[in-house]
Amino acid sequence: GENVEQHPSTLSVQEGDSAVIKCTYSDSASNYFPWYKQELGKGPQLIIDIRSNVGEKKDQRIAVTLNKTAKHFSLHITETQPEDSAVYFCAASTLIGSARQLTFGSGTQLTVLP
Amino acid sequence: DAMVIQNPRYQVTQFGKPVTLSCSQTLNHNVMYWYQQKSSQAPKLLFHYYDKDFNNEADTPDNFQSRRPNTSFCFLDIRSPGLGDAAMYLCATSRDHNQPQHFGDGTRLSIL
């Protein structure tokens, strides 16, 4: 089955600096890669996603890059703010049986220091 | 406005006492998912409905059941909760497979 590895598990940055979180996946058939932000006591919130026919996608301060050959994708947050502090999960959409399902990475606790 | 609503937000039950968690959606999505999330871990898929078709994960214990009486509502039933079932239970919806999933804020279940 699909295996998604996420690094680092914890990340601290100064406010205004950039943060990068990296994920690798094993199933070359995976074709959809969302990123979720989860604040304490809340459900995961989709912040950006990318499909396998695209190499990069940007939404204001957030960008995602995908390297299909190397099977890795990354989340980039620029000009970080304290409210960016949360747990971030990457995921890969995998075909299991007749349905596609998400396999999540283990999460990254991002702390933005004021 | 919340589009995936889970009730209650916090649920306490006794060891072995059946409990039901509920999820409703205003998105008219075809697919509804139930995930279990334990502390400091990623969400783990328990099962999902595509419309009325139920799809159970191979490693989901028989203790966990689900019902989807209509498009808007989905329930998670835990027949005999054990201490290991204490977790956050998340409901999510998507328009179709391989489409973005939208999560509710979860129900935190405690077992006494």
pLDDT digits (tens, 9 = 90+) for B28-49: 999 999 999 999 899 999 999 9
Nearby residues of B61 by Cβ (< 8 Å), 6 or more positions away: none
With CA atoms as reference, the chain B residue closest to A9 would be B40
> What is the pLDDT, as a whole number, of residue B94?
93
Residues of A in contact with B103 (CB under 8 A): 36, 43-46
With an 8 Å Cβ cutoff, are A42 and B41 in contact?
A: no
Residue of B54, B70, B60, B110 lying closest to B87 (CA atoms):
B110
With an 8 Å Cβ cutoff, are B106 and A42 in contact?
A: yes
Residues of B in contact with A43 (CB under 8 A): 4, 6, 90, 92, 103-106
With CA atoms as reference, the chain B residue closest to A107 would be B42
Distance CA B54, CA A100 (A): 14
pLDDT digits (tens, 9 = 90+) for B68-111: 999 999 999 999 999 999 999 999 999 988 789 999 999 999 99
Residues of B in contact with A41 (CB under 8 A): 105, 108
pLDDT digits (tens, 9 = 90+) for A35-87: 999 999 999 999 999 998 889 999 999 999 999 999 999 999 999 999 999 99
What residues are paired with A34 via a beta bridge? A49
Q: What is chain A's mean pLDDT, rounded?
A: 94
* Beta-strand pair A45-51/A99-104: unpaired
Does pLDDT of B2 surpass 80?
no
Does pLDDT of A1 surpass 80?
no
Question: From the list B97, B105, B106, which residue is nearest A99 (CB)?
Answer: B97
